[in-house]
Amino acid sequence: MNHSGSRTVHDQRGPLRWSLKTMLALAATVAWLCGAVVLANRLDSLRPSGGEWVTAAAVIVTIYYWRFHIATSSTTRVVKVIAFVAMLLGLLPYLYLYSGLLADWSRMPVSRWVGDPVWVYAIPACSFMAFDLRKDPRRLNAYLLGSIAEVVVIVPVWTYAWIIVQQRLGWWWM
């Protein structure tokens, strides 16, 4: 605000610039996910089920990209949680349609409809709640190192544990 109490041109353009940046990032995300489907379809034509991992990897990269974007935004914790949950819900149809990660013949439908989202979303969601809702979010270097550690160490351990839980629940037969 200037001395007369009205907003200056610079103040009015700030939110617009952020909005355009976010819209461009959203468009790039949609293009990224569509590109993953195209690549997965090409791989599937060469080898059945070969492309399902491409779409799953696209979901993981999308989650971690938007998690960083949300965590470093200058909004309240409540808005960050709402944005993160909205992002996860927005990715559900993509996860269901394109990321059948394991052979369906050995799984109950509940494993696919409940198990896959729990499996894919659990580690990023827990990490978001533990690390990204602080007053001072992690810097890019710390975020990248933490994310790599999650994907390389914690996700494989979680995958093994989640398969055992699903077997105990009777959702999956081996």
Q: What is the pLDDT of residues 42-92, one digit of tens each?
A: 887 777 666 677 887 888 889 999 998 888 887 888 888 998 999 999 988
Residue 14 has pLDDT above 70, yes or no: no
Residue 107 or 9, more confident: 107
Query: What gap in Å lies between CA 86 and CA 7, rounded to an integer?
Result: 32
Residue 157 has pLDDT above 90, yes or no: yes
For a pLDDT cut of 90, what percent of the chain falls above it? 14
- Residue 142 structure tokens: 């710390």
pLDDT at 106: 52
Residues 6+ apart with CB under 8 A from 75: 83
pTM for the model? 0.76
Question: Dihedral through CA 78, CA 80, CA 82, CA 87, nearest 10?
Answer: -170
